[in-house]
């Protein structure tokens, strides 16, 4: 029967689509290492630096903070310009990554 060959293909499509909804920790990690860690570090910011730590923080809080910086309801020259170039997906990935780090 011809229909049966479509089933696995359809299923794969569904699985792939639902998987892409989840945060991509690898993408989050490379963004954290390339961009954010310059100030925030990965586990913690450099000793004595003025930057807040992000590791192990509440993910919902971090996401909201970045969205607030992006739409400038929270003001910080540095973070407004960094968050301004982040997509929703970037925010989801990088916050999921930081939330999983042990401080």
**Chain residues in the site for ligand HEC (CB under 6 A):** 31, 35-36, 38-40, 51-52, 54, 62, 65-66, 76, 78-79, 82, 94
Measured from the CB atom, is 4 or 54 closer to ligand HEC? 54
Least Å distance, CB 25 to ligand HEC, is 14
Measured from the CB atom, is 14 or 55 closer to ligand HEC? 55
Query: 10 Å Cβ neighbour count for 25?
Result: 15
Least Å distance, CB 22 to ligand HEC, is 18
Is residue 64 exposed (0-12), middle (13-18) or buried (19+ Cβ within 10 Å)?
A: middle
Measured from the CB atom, is 54 or 55 closer to ligand HEC? 54
Contact 86, 35 (CB under 8 A): no
Distance, in Å, from the CA atom of 54 to the CA atom of 59, rounded to the nearest integer, reads 9
Contact 102, 43 (CB under 8 A): yes
Query: 10 Å Cβ neighbour count for 74?
Result: 15
Least Å distance, CB 11 to ligand HEC, is 35
Measured from the CB atom, is 9 or 47 closer to ligand HEC? 47
């Amino acid at each position: 029967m011809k229909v049966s060959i479509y089933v696995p293909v359809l299923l794969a499509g569904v699985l792939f689509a639902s998987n892409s909804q989840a945060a991509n920790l690898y993408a989050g990690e490379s963004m954290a290492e390339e961009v954010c860690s310059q100030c925030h570090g990965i586990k913690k910011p450099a000793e004595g630096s003025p930057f807040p730590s992000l590791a192990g923080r509440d993910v919902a809080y971090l996401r909201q903070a970045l969205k607030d910086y992006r739409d400038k309801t929270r003001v910080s020259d540095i973070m407004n310009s960094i968050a301004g170039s982040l997509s929703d997906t970037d925010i989801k990935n990088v916050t999921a990554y930081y939330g999983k780090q042990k401080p």
